[in-house]
Homo-oligomer: A and B are copies of this chain.
Amino acid sequence: MGGDSGPAVTMPACLSILCRNLSVTLLLVGDESQIKIYLKGLSRSELCRIQILHTSVVFADTLRPDNILRSGRESSLFLAIEQVRSETAQACISAGNSGALMLASRHLLKNIQGIEKPAMIAILPGSRASGFTYLLDVGANIETTTNQLFQFAIMGSVLIGALSGKPRARVALLNIGSEAHKGTPVIREAATLLDACNDFDYVGFVEANQIFDGIADVIVCDGFTGNITIKASAGAVKVIENLMHQSIRRRWYYRAFGFCMKPFFRDVRRVLNPSKYNGATLIGIQGVIVKSHGNSDWAGFEQAIEHAFQQLALNVPQLIAARMQKTVDVA
Contact = CB atoms under 8 A, between A and B. Distances in A.
Contacts of A253: 260
A161 interface: no
A62 B179 contact: yes
Interface stretch (A37-45, A86-94, A224-232): A224-232
A250 B268 CA distance: 12
SS class of chain A's interface: helix, strand, loop or mixed?
A: helix
A243 to B, nearest CB: 5
A208 B224 contact: no
Interface string A206-239: 0111111100000000011101111111111111
A253 B252 CA distance: 19
A180 to B, nearest CB: 9
Contacts of A181: 64-65
Interface string A277-310: 0000000000000000000000000000000000
Interface in A254-277: 254, 260, 263-264, 267-268, 271-272
Contacts of A230: 232
Contact of A235 (B183, B184, B208, B267): B208
A211 B232 contact: yes
Contact of A176 (B227, B233, B236): B227
Contact of A244 (B65, B212, B234, B264): B264
Contacts of A272: 239-240, 243
